[in-house]
Amino acid sequence: MKDFATLINALDSTNKTSLKQEAIIEFLKVASSRDKMWFLALFTGKKPKRNINSSFMKIWAMEVAQIPEWLFVESYSSVGDLGETISLILPPPKKSIEISLSDWMQKIIDLKDKTDEEKKEFVLNAWDSLDNVERFIFNKLLGGSFRIGVSSKALINTLAKFYKMDPSAVAHSIMGHWKPEEVDFESLIKGEYTDTNLSKPYPFCLAYALEKELQDLGATEDWLVEYKWDGIRGQFIKRDGEVFIWSRGEELVTDHFPEIRDELLQWKGNFVIDGEILAFKDHRVLNFNELQKRLNRKNLSKKMLDEIPIVVFTYDLLEFENEDFRDHSMKERRFQLQKVLEMNPSEKIKISEEIVFENWNQLPDIRENAREINSEGLMLKNYHSPYHTGRKKGDWWKWKIDPLTLDAVLIYAQKGSGRRSGYYTDYTFAVKKEGKLVTIAKAYSGLTDKEIQEVSKFISKNVVEKFGPVRTVKPELVFELAFEGIGFSSRHKSGVALRFPRILRWRKDKKVDEIDDIEDIKKLIV
């Protein structure tokens, strides 16, 4: 447990990916196989079911600390986390015990069949045996809310570095529904429970933002022009009767799209296809917010599948019948891709539309109208280009439409972390709704260091209320926000959700009564 506490403390003390990676590697060097197994389970969301009500933990902590409820509430509002608040108010431990992380996890799991008195005795004994950091972790494990600032991609890259493996092989190895008590850590990581070569994707070919005049690209017949879609870019792999879907973020998302997986399982041939996953209904691409509703769900209901159907617009063919096609020209790859789709006709998986044009002067109007079909703009690909690894300037260009904008007022703020931990850098903005203010978006970027310092001074002097680390701010500062898309959302008070919101500029020339109204903003939704 001490080694795990050291790891969590190290991860919580930095924003740098390299330092987080070093901390994980140090833990992997000293931890037992069973502890490493639970570390992986916790970091991939396989935490045990909560067996103790958090309200009981609060009551027990107040009893031990001998403090009234108002003081606990005040402490909690200042700290902002129940597990950390409890760890801070408890008196120093009277004893010390050495129990491994895996043994603690087993004890927590065994609480399922215990009485409330037995649970209380177990918790109080643990609190009296652990230091402050260990208590905090113990409380988080008890509460079933264990979270830490390491992305799944960063975790996979760290494990790959430690074991000198390909990240995609590690990702394949740890996917699925394994249980920490039923598998061996190194055997799991090294793919002894699965064939990792079957799912291995290729690096994606990426485009640069267009920085030339269209006429400077040369002959129009040398270029394939397609719409640029705002979905989930993916590779669709079928090898030896198995199907794998990888996102561009290097995550296996096969189970998120069962209808595509099942469709590909029926297809003839072996292949790796590059394409875009989109929500698609009534012959129309839906807003990205609709697609987002299907992500990160353990179970997809029939209602969800019916209400938000999926389609794949395919762009490219990277492999066919075990032959690497990436060195073939774009024209050759697209021709072979069309043959694969003709061999497997489908309403769910289609080839991306080729935009037919006679001269470069026609494209600006086509691009300008792209938002009407929920497209982000245009992609321009040289017909003679291979499928590059990463970005190579000159062969693929993306030509996006200008972002949407709105004016909003700052109403909530929270301090940042790292070098900006002394300043308020996390902002929540609001717009007008029936004469009142309603939150519209959060944004964390777009201001200079000087502007951040100026905004922080204003916030410090104009705090209205405190909610843990969050400050309610007097609504005076107006900002212009830019965003890539907008859609209706039942999860947001405003009724809409913005795609990639960021601060475009501080509107010192505007007052709060000049910000946008939500009803006008909704008119932007296609």
SS3 162: helix
Q: Which residues pair with 198 in a beta bridge?
A: none
Do 414 and 470 meet the contact criterion of CB atoms below 8 Å apart?
yes
Task: Write out the catalytic residue numbers.
Answer: 228
- Helix axes 132-143 and 82-89, enclosed angle (nearest 10): 140
CA-only gyration radius of the chain, Å: 27
**Which tokens sit at 433?**
């709704």
**DSSP letters spanning 197-238:** GGG--PPPEE-EEP-S-GGGG--GGGEEEEEEE-SEEEEEEE
Integer angstrom CA distances of residue 213 from 114, 301, 398, 403: 72, 48, 13, 20
Q: Please report where in the chains the tokens 């490219």 appear, as a residue.
A: 316
Q: Comparing C-alpha atoms, which of 356, 353, 335, 323 is closest to residue 223?
A: 356
Integer angstrom CA distances of residue 464 from 237, 435, 460, 478: 54, 20, 10, 17
What is the distance between the alpha carbons of residues 435 and 451, in angstroms, rounded to a whole number?
Answer: 29
SS3 68: coil
SS3 384: coil
- Letter for the amino acid at 123? V
